[in-house]
Amino acid sequence: GAGVSQSPRYKVTKRGQDVALRCDPISGHVSLYWYRQALGQGPEFLTYFNYEAQQDKSGLPNDRFSAERPEGSISTLTIQRTEQRDSAMYRCASSRGDSYSTDTQYFGPGTRLTVL
């Protein structure tokens, strides 16, 4: 596709339910990142994949959060037993992955998660 896509764009769920957020990166991009963005704040790093390998998950808030990228392309961020404090915009970004320090990250439109 032309850019990073994410689905769903909006998700409203009840506290205690599990949610799965999907990210489809730019074709051929090796690196994939998940961020969380609160209102009025910049994106906050959650996790990073290089191909299918999860290289860094240090930003995941707790063990209710997990992510996978089984075939090195589409990625899913799963939040189990959602809580109201999980409400935020979840953004995915991808990059070519050929050079970390000069690697432009392209962000998707995000999934707005609301936990009631």
Partner 1 sequence: GQQVMQIPQYQHVQEGEDFTTYCNSSTTLSNIQWYKQRPGGHPVFLIQLVKSGEVKKQKRLTFQFGEAKKNSSLHITATQTTDVGTYFCAGPYLSNDYKLSFGAGTTVTVRA
Q: What one-character-per-residue DSSP string does 37-53 give? A: E-TTS--EEEEEEETTE
Task: Name the minimum Å distance from CB 70 to partner 1.
Answer: 20
C-beta closer to partner 1: residue 59 or 80: 59
**Between 80 and 87, whose beta carbon lies closer to partner 1?**
87
- Length of the chain equals 116
User: Whole-number minimum distance, CB 45 to partner 1, in Å?
Assistant: 5
Amino acid at 105: Q
Which positions touch partner 1 (CB under 8 A)?
A: 31, 33, 40-45, 48, 55-56, 58-59, 91, 95, 100-110
d(CA 110, CA 91): 4
CB atoms within 10 A of CB 77: 24
In the complex with partner 1, which residue's Cβ is closer, 17 or 55? 55
